[in-house]
């Protein structure tokens, strides 16, 4: 058999088409610290002090369009704090840890890089992962979007899911997924906002699929963080 240029081209294209993609898009997930703290589990402020009353980053998570996702993709590329050392003060502001006991953030960032970031090594290295998330946070000012619609952090005040989703959709252009948790009195509250991001981690897109099975109920609270307490204060 002669192996001409055309055969080679066809063979190569088939090879490319049959290589599984490492992921299709990202969820960019931000958490509301007031809701993280106002739950039965409670929270601990980072060693660097109480974070500002603003949404903060939980993670940037590669996902497949069928709703499944890869995780812990490369144990040979563990988190190396020296690679983010000059980003640490920005990370402490925009990606603080609220888990107990109080930490400096490194454990949280390590977890997010190793579980999720390593699954998108085709587009960024460790430093690039954190930079991409920080830049997405700047692009979507969720607190501002909600405030523009008259939704401000306050205890005991309820909003419909429609009002919350509309406020964010208007500001960002695409409908987010809202995840709730439950406060100490059993009321649903806005806990996390998921936005979809293209496979280059730069632009928000319409979500190809939403996470399943975490319903919020129709009326949700957007609790204050300035009046919240950490476990150490209770
Ligand atoms: P939970 O079960 O608390 O909702 O999620 C636990 C963890 O699983 C999340 O923090 C995240 O690391 C991962 N996870 C949950 N749902 C999704 C999802 O839809 N996509 C991705 N990529 N990760 C998820
Ligand atoms: P994921 O749910 O992304 O798989 O895991 C989150 C992990 O990071 C959990 O082990 C959780 O205890 C830890 N963690 C540390 N700080 C925070 C925080 O501020 N928010 C959330 N959601 N998880 C945190």
Mutate to test the pocket of ligand 1, among 27, 30, 56, 61 (most ligand atoms within 8 A of CB): 61
Half-sphere exposure of 15 (CA within 13 A, CB side): 6
Instruction: Give which of 42, 49, 121 is closest to 78, Cα–Cα.
Output: 121
Tell me, yes or no, if 112 is annotated catalytic: yes
Residue 12 — very low, low, confident or very high, per pLDDT cuts 50/70/90? low
Mutate to test the pocket of ligand 2, among 39, 45, 58 (most ligand atoms within 8 A of CB): 58
pLDDT at 6 over 70: no
Stronger pLDDT, 226 or 223, i.e. the higher one: 223
What is the per-residue pLDDT across 181-192, written as a single tens digit (0 to 9) for each? Answer: 999 889 999 999
Half-sphere exposure of 28 (CA within 13 A, CB side): 34
Nearest atom in ligand 2 to 116's CA: 3
Among the bound ligands, name the one nearest to the CA of residue 112.
Answer: 2
Tell me, yes or no, if 159 is annotated catalytic: no
So what's the pLDDT on residue 2? 45
pLDDT at 107 over 80: yes
Q: Is 111 in the pocket of ligand 2 (CB under 6 A)?
A: yes
Mean pLDDT of 2-28: 64
What is the per-residue pLDDT across 17-49, written as a single tens digit (0 to 9) for each? Answer: 556 689 999 999 999 999 999 998 899 999 999
Q: Which residues contact 4 (CB under 8 A, 6 or more apart)?
A: none
So what's the pLDDT on residue 18? 52
Mean pLDDT of 110-130: 98
**Contacts for 67-76: CB closer than 8 Å, 24+ residues apart:** 67/209, 67/211, 67/212, 69/23, 69/119, 70/22, 70/23, 70/119, 71/115, 71/116, 71/119, 72/114, 72/115, 72/118, 72/119, 73/22, 73/118, 73/119, 73/121, 74/118, 74/119, 74/121, 75/114
């Amino acid at each position: 058999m002669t192996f001409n240029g055309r055969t080679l081209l066809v063979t190569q294209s088939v090879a490319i088409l049959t290589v599984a993609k490492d992921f299709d898009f990202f969820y960019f997930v931000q958490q509301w610290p007031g809701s993280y703290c106002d739950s039965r589990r409670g929270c601990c402020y980072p060693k660097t002090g109480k974070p500002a009353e603003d949404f903060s980053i939980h993670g940037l998570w590669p996902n497949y369009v069928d709703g499944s996702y890869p995780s812990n993709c490369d144990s040979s590329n563990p988190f190396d704090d020296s690679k983010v050392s000059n980003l640490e003060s920005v990370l402490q502001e925009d990606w603080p840890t609220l888990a107990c006991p109080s930490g400096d953030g490194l454990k949280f960032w390590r977890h997010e890089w190793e579980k999720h970031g390593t699954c998108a090594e085709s587009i960024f290295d460790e430093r690039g992962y954190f930079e991409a998330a920080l830049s997405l946070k700047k692009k979507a000012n969720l607190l501002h979007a909600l405030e523009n619609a008259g939704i401000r952090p306050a205890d005991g005040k309820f909003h419909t899911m429609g009002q919350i989703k509309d406020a964010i959709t208007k500001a960002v252009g695409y409908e987010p997924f809202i995840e709730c948790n439950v406060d100490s009195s059993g009321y649903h509250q806005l806990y996390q906002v998921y936005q979809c991001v293209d496979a280059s981690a730069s632009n928000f897109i319409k979500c190809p699929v939403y996470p399943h099975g975490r319903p919020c109920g129709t009326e949700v609270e957007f609790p204050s963080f300035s009046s919240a307490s950490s476990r150490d204060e209770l």
